[in-house]
Structure 1
Amino acid sequence: MILVLSYGSFEQGTDPVIDWLLYYKADFLKITTKDLYRQDMDFSIDYLNKKMMVMGTDYFPKINSVWCRRFSEKTDFVRYNQWPYTQSIYELNREQDSFQDSLYDLLSEKKWLMNPRLGSINKINVQTCAHSIGLKTPETIVTNSREELKAFHKRSGAVITKPIEFSGFFRAGSQTFATYTTTMDQQMIDQLPLNFSYSFFQQKVDAHYEVRSFYLDGEFYSSAAVFDSESRPADIKMNYSEDFLHWVNYQLPAPIEDKLRQLMQGVGLNTGSIDLLRSHDGEYYFLEVNPGGQYSAPSERNNLNVEKHIAEWLIKNDK
């Protein structure tokens, strides 16, 4: 049996894989974080005797392969923004983290697609590893100093900023707030205070195009995002629907793929979405890998059938 751990509501990467599992008539069970709190569902775990009971059935001996994708929904602080509610929610979220951690240990002998403890991975550590195995990476600093940032901007010529760990979003009522990679020009830097919260800054590579490559246990499914215009945005997520952005099938050079395999093995990932830039002088720059990154857009536009390949991997490892 295949166990799928994911979001309770629509998750654009998971649901198409479920469709393929249904098509193949695969034996699977999907559990979401919300399932664990439903009052109409019996769920219990006996850690010492290795039992995972769902609605009276022990699924532990049935499960062979596990796919963990964004199994991390938390209670929203925005709805309850006053103490003591915030403290209670904080403690409930900590309880959820501890429970999920023990669940991963219980299922550790199964075949996993993605190490569940690496759902969010440190960009700095991965970039350091990539640099050590010979992949080109942009110059990077973390600083809280405006003067240091000015000096870095002068050395690099152009600078971007983004979160160290994860570029997510949150909702407040009818509004959604998201974090994107942003270009820091001289005027923006001048408006900063002398010291600010420490932040991640990176050299902005003069890129010809961007390559998105989905990695699945040694195989690569790659696409290039090509722009009609000369100016490339700092974050192409802002322009997915624009007419000047085109997705094309792409084949990375074998030496680059070999180094990327070495990188993924080194950081303990058997899947993830890898971002690279191809500069105008022909060099490839590794940017980051997102273990739970989205792959639906290039998969659909370029007929890569990533969702089908994921389903087939789960079925193969279930047998």
Structure 2
Amino acid sequence: MSTRETAAVLIVSESDDLHAAAMEVTLREQHAIVPLRLDLRDFPREPGSFRLDEAGVERSLAGLDGLDGVRSVWWRRPHPSSVPSGVRADDNAYRQAECDGFVQGLLWSLGAQWVNDPGNDRIAHRKIVQLDTARRAGCAVPETLVTNDPDAARDFIEHRGDRVVFKRTGTSRAEFSETRLVGAADLDRLTGIRWAPTIFQRYIDPECDLRVVWVDGQEWAVRIDSRSGAGRVDSRLDTSVDFAPALLPAAVSKSLATLMGTLGLSFGVLDLRVGLDGEYYFLEVNPQGQFAYLEIKTGLPIFTSLANLLTHGDGSVSGW
């Protein structure tokens, strides 16, 4: 094996994340690598240190040694460090800021390949950034309004000849939030968006949906027959329909490559919708999206592709 293939891999995620567990198995079986696993919630309950002297630097965090040998990091689903609450809110904020500053500085100073770079990952999570970048990259994007102004939202909805969907502007680990069509009852609740800016978007009646796992230029596209199931509005709501490997038109692939390059992402899960007009519409990209079910349903070697990227910097898979 090359130096890259024998280099240590660090996975930063929740301790119970099934994707991280599956990647650990893939790395062990296909590359003879036992990756380091880190859940940032273990700090500061478990100690960490950064030491710099004439001999160089030495890092440890939450009981993990060997961080200085890490050459590749999967920034999968990082939590903030878990700081116990005290009596004063100001003290809590101070301790949280100090712990976050320490953890982020220690990890982000690693001279490693990042999947994804934490700064790029954070910016790319912002859906307005995604939508505008996709537009500039040549992707078709449904007409969209993101606002906390109830009057602007009502005007957008009432003056559209087509139906309109609404969805979250931000992301969090809160309860799953589906994309929904605006109904009469929703119009009566528009004043609530003053405190929660919302995305309103022209509804695209689907021929099908596509979920594309992007691994540093390698596209793993899956066609989802959402038109035939309960997921016609949101394809995530029905996994009982047909899933099949797909190929993207060259022009669409080129636009996605421009989009991901501009966002600085080497990994992401993109949602596209093919309209009845034959257009491929960009909906969003999740830099930490779920994809295990796509491999289970189609047999596409997505975990192998990502493991190859983490170990030797190339997400291609022989024979595919």
Distance 2:83 2:109 in 1: 28
User: 2:139 matched to which residue of 1?
Assistant: 135
User: 1:151 matched to which residue of 2?
Assistant: 155
Contact 2:11 2:37 in 1 (8 A): yes
Q: Secondary structure, in 3 states, of the residue corresponding to 1:313?
A: helix
How do residues 1-319 of structure 1 correspond to structure 2 at under 5 angstroms? 1-23=7-29, 24-39=31-46, 43-46=48-51, 49-53=56-60, 57-60=65-68, 62-73=69-80, 75=82, 84=87, 89-107=92-110, 109-120=111-122, 121-156=125-160, 157-166=162-171, 168-170=172-174, 177-193=175-191, 196-197=194-195, 198-227=197-226, 229=228, 232-240=231-239, 243=240, 245-317=241-313
Alpha-carbon offset, residue 158 of structure 1: 1.6
Gaps of 5+ in 1: 171-176
Q: Secondary structure, in 3 states, of the residue corresponding to 1:13?
A: helix
Gaps of 5+ in 2: 1-6, 315-320
User: What is the CA deviation profile of residues 46-105 of structure 1, one whole-angstrom value per residue up to 9, with x for unaligned ones?
Assistant: 257432136695541x2222221112255499xx7xx94766555444334322331343
Distance 1:101 1:187, change over 3 A: same
Distance 1:76 1:35 in 2: 9
TM superposition score normalised by structure 2: 0.83
Q: Secondary structure, in 3 states, of the residue corresponding to 2:284?
A: strand
Q: Which has the higher contact order (CA 8 A, sep 6+)?
A: 1
Contact 1:137 1:287 in 2 (8 A): yes
Distance 1:297 1:50, change over 3 A: same
Distance 1:92 1:150, change over 3 A: same
CA-based RMSD of the aligned residues comes to 2.8
Alpha-carbon offset, residue 276 of structure 1: 0.5
Flag the structure with higher strand content. 1
TM superposition score normalised by structure 1: 0.83
Q: Percent identity, aligned pairs only?
A: 23
Distance 1:28 1:202, change over 3 A: same
Distance 1:181 1:116, change over 3 A: same
Contact 1:18 1:311 in 2 (8 A): no
